[in-house]
Amino acid sequence: MRRKLKFTAFSLLVASALLSGCNTSNTETSQSHETQQLPRVNTVTLSPSDHYLVEREYVGTVQAGQQANLGLELGGKIAQILVDVGDKVTAGDPLIILDKQLLQTQADELSAQQAQITAQLELIEANLKRQKALKKKGFSAESEIDNLNSQRNALRANFRQLAASSAANQLQQQKSTVFAPYDGTISARFVSKGDVVNTGAPTLTLLASTNKEAHIGIPAKQLAKMSEEADWTLRIGNRSYEATLLNPGARVDTGSRTVKLRFGLPQNADVID
């Protein structure tokens, strides 16, 4: 009976030691976890200031330095359209051609009339030469020579008039073609082949490929501060460009109550109007 009590007491002692060890392990783990979760902070010494900076961004639009609605100086039927929207053109390229059949017929008629007058002048010159030879022999009257001189002068005047009409006809044929005034891109087309257009009616819109500008509106109260800036950087999409202020603003827009500033962009700026 005493051996059994000793064995029981020994078992209780071992169990107590194990429980004590477990409690110690759990306590250490909990303390380590709490130590790892402690936040770290940085201290900053504050000093008073009479001002602070606020960053502001203003939106705007990119525009071509030149934007022309190309029209015809003469009315007529469109015979050919050589470009379309999105095409890049060079200064002097033909863009639209009118039907020139009537003008070409008039040119042929004027040329025939000039040839007729030239033949008449040759005949009068021959008659004058003959009359002058007869006058030396006393067989020609002075009035006949005067009559021939008058006819020659009238024909010469008619010839000059026909030459002026022929030059006007050639100019009209040249004006029947729309040429690109500068390098650029076609952004709009308003006519189709076969349309009959009036003088000055817009046919194409051409955007210049150089001298691109950015137009940005700012509040009027910020104008004085903005005008003092010397260096300008504009962000277009994900890229930034050094810009030049072209116009500091002239008037306040009644709709947005802002003043529009014009900035010149670099020639290598890859932006679209």
Torsion of the alpha carbons at 36, 38, 40 and 46, rounded to the nearest 10: -170
Whole-Å CA distances, 129 to 92, 120, 149, 164, 181: 51, 14, 11, 29, 54
Place of tokens 């802002």: 258
Q: What is the per-residue pLDDT for 157?
A: 93
Could you tell me if 187 and 85 are in contact, meaning their C-beta atoms sit under 8 angstroms apart? yes
- In this prediction, the residues of the chain whose per-residue pLDDT falls under 50 are 1-25
- Measured over the CA atoms of residue 216, residue 222, residue 228 and residue 232, the dihedral's sign is negative
pLDDT one-digit tens code per residue, 171-225: 999 999 999 999 999 999 999 999 999 998 999 999 988 888 888 888 877 777 7
